[in-house]
């Protein structure tokens, strides 16, 4: 009579089984576990098997947002890029959605700026990052002194590409992987006869053996996050803007925030030149005692001397004032620029139409050299570029928004010195009471 013998063997295809004393810390997602039952008998055998797929165990990634530093040049310039480092904590490939935020209060409040911003490069919609992951098997390739790791094969859907584009469970050539205490760059991937894969990595070799079941996580650095400084409030003081990344992960409730990254811009001290000149238009001899004479050709007129002091006047004389300001900084623009002057109305009266008739009340030279045009003097910034900001019984404050981009409701910018100092100028007249 033939003897019939039965046995049951378990084989996890694409896994190299460990000795009975080894325990798996985890199993890679998408691995195919095949349990095969075998009936052996004299003259043959018969198998029956069942395949079980290992599911992804969702986990939020580890996030580190690196800040940027720079120097403030002008509004929203220079922009800084914050790099976000994401490290998987899952047992297989997964997609993570990143959004960004800017601190606005408390310890994360902005400092010394208006209208800064943090953007994701996608109009506020956020962006996706895919991270691969696996686990190690046992074998000599994971031993001390090696530059390789062995990982199991996932199902066919999670082995993509070939050659330099090959990816196994989302890990490919060029991937940065972290395992145990190591962070390495994958330089090659090879398939083994038993269906496993060998990852070769750069850097120093393993100092200690890597146990079977050790997670192998992909790490990616993305540079999609841009932080802009807005407009500086006070030159010479640093700007601080905090940024944060938040990640949502399928299968994980809520979102995972990164650290708050402090972005800082240094702001050079302003090097502003401002000088006020005057001349007596009515009585030329009253200028003879003036000092600090400087010649300007205003509004197409012949060049005329103006003085920083020493000019005299009597009741009924008309005085013409020139206020000239310049930016002598080689690194920083002057932003939010306006020239103003407190006119002592107890002693003088502003002269309307002094530069060509009705509405030509103040002459503005954007190049600071006497060329330009006359502006109408209104009662508020909503009326004209030149305006009286305040009036009382003693003074009237005349203000003109100056510099590039200046307008009725807009302060301007006086550019930094790029070899030649940039000036602006306003001119107005008063009559002595």
* Residue 18: predicted pLDDT: 36
Q: What is the pLDDT of residue 344?
A: 86
Q: Given pLDDT bands bounded at 50, 70 and 90, which one contains residue 25?
A: very low
Distance CA 9, CA 132 (A): 32
Phi-psi region at 60: left, alpha or beta (left = phi > 0; alpha = psi -120 to 50): beta
pLDDT at 114: 95
Residue 27 pLDDT level (bands cut at 50, 70, 90): low
Q: Are 311 and 280 in contact (CB under 8 A)?
A: yes
Q: CA 412 to CA 225: how far, in whole Å?
A: 29
Q: Which residue in 127, 219, 136, 206 sits closest to 171, CA to CA?
A: 219
Which of the pair, 316 or 251, is modelled with greater confidence? Answer: 316
The encoded tokens of residue 63 equal 């996030």
- pLDDT bin (cut points 50, 70, 90) of residue 50 is low
The CA-atom distances, in angstroms, between 402 and each of 122, 178, 343 are 35, 56, 19
Structure tokens at 109: 């409040």
Residues of the chain with CATH 2.60.40: 62-131+222-266, 272-432
Q: Is-cis flag, bond preceding 78, omega within 30?
A: yes
Pairwise CA distance, residues 279 & 320, whole Å: 5
Closest CA to 344 of 328, 364, 321, 363: 321
CATH number at 272-432: 2.60.40
Alpha-carbon gap, residue 280 to 231, rounded angstroms: 40
Region 410-423 average pLDDT: 90
Helix count and strand count (H, E) for the chain? 0, 36
Q: What is the pLDDT of residue 13?
A: 35
Q: At residue 207, does pLDDT exceed 60? A: yes
Q: In this predicted structure, what is the pLDDT of residue 281?
A: 97
What contacts 187, CB < 8 A, 6 or more positions away?
A: 173, 200, 201, 202
Quickly state the pLDDT bin for 184 (edges 50, 70, 90): very high
pLDDT digits (tens, 9 = 90+) for 317-361: 999 999 999 999 888 888 888 898 888 888 999 999 999 888 899
CB atoms within 10 A of CB 86: 26
Asked whether the predicted pLDDT for residue 9 surpasses 50, the reply is: no
Residue pointed to by tokens 């305006």:
387
pLDDT of residue 175: 97
Question: For residue 391, what pLDDT is reported?
Answer: 62
- pLDDT at residue 182, as a whole number: 93
pLDDT per position as a tens digit, 360-391: 999 999 999 999 999 888 876 667 777 766 66
At 112-168, the pLDDT tens digits run 999 999 999 999 999 999 999 999 986 656 777 889 999 988 888 889 999 999 999
DSSP, collapsed to helix, strand or coil, labels residue 165 as helix
Using the predicted structure, report yes or no on whether residue 14 has a pLDDT greater than 90.
Answer: no
Highest mean pLDDT of the ranges 141-145, 244-248, 391-395, 399-403:
244-248
| 17, 139 Cβ separation under 8 angstroms | no
Q: What is the CA radius of gyration of the chain?
A: 38
Tell which residue, 426, 414, 371, 78, has the closest CA to residue 272: 414
Q: Which CATH class is domain 62-131+222-266?
A: mainly beta
- Average pLDDT taken over every residue of the chain: 86
- Check pLDDT > 90 for residue 432: yes
> What is the distance between the alpha carbons of residues 194 and 412, in angstroms, rounded to a whole number?
72
Report angle CA 420, 425, 431 to the nearest 5 degrees.
Answer: 155
Cα angle value 2/7/8 (rounded, 5°): 155
Q: Which residue has the higher pLDDT, 305 or 250?
A: 305
């Amino acid at each position: 009579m033939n003897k019939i013998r039965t046995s049951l063997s378990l084989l996890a295809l694409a896994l190299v089984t460990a000795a009975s004393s080894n325990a798996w810390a985890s199993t890679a997602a998408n691995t195919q576990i095949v349990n095969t039952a075998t009936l052996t008998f004299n003259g043959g055998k018969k198998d029956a098997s069942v395949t079980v797929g290992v599911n992804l165990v969702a986990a939020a990634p580890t996030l580190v947002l690196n800040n940027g530093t720079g120097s403030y040049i002008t509004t929203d310039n220079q922009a800084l890029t914050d790099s976000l480092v994401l490290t998987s904590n899952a047992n297989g490939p997964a997609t993570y959605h990143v959004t960004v935020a800017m601190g606005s209060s408390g310890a994360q409040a902005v400092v010394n700026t208006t209208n800064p911003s943090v953007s994701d490069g996608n109009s506020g919609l956020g962006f996706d990052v895919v991270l691969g992951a696996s686990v190690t098997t046992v074998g000599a390739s994971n031993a001390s002194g090696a530059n390789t790791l062995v990982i199991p094969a996932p199902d066919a859907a999670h082995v993509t590409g070939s050659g330099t584009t090959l990816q196994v469970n989302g890990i490919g050539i060029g991937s940065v992987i972290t395992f145990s205490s190591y962070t390495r760059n994958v330089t090659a991937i090879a398939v083994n006869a038993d269906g496993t894969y060998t990852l070769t990595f750069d850097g120093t070799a393993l100092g200690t053996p890597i146990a079977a079941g050790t997670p192998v996580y992909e790490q990616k650095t993305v540079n999609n996050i841009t932080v802009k400084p807005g407009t500086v409030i006070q030159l010479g003081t640093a700007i601080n803007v905090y940024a944060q990344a938040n990640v949502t992960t399928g299968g994980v409730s809520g979102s995972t925030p990164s650290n708050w990254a402090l972005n800082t811009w240094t702001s050079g001290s302003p090097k502003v030149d401002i000088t006020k000149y005057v001349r007596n238009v009515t009585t030329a001899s009253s200028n003879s005692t003036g000092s600090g004479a400087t010649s300007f050709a205003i509004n197409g007129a012949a060049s005329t001397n103006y003085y920083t002091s020493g000019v005299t006047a009597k009741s009924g004389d008309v005085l013409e004032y020139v206020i000239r300001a310049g930016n002598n900084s080689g690194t920083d623009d002057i932003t939010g620029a306006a020239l103003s002057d407190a006119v002592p109305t107890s002693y003088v009266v502003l002269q309307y139409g002094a530069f060509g008739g009705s509405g030509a009340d103040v002459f503005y030279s954007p190049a600071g050299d006497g060329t330009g045009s006359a502006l109408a003097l209104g009662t508020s910034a909503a009326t004209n570029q030149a305006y009286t900001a305040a009036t009382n019984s003693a003074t009237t404050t005349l203000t003109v928004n100056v510099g590039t981009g200046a307008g009725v409701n807009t302060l301007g910018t006086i550019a930094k010195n790029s070899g030649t100092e940039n000036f602006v100028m306003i001119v107005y007249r008063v009559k002595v009471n």
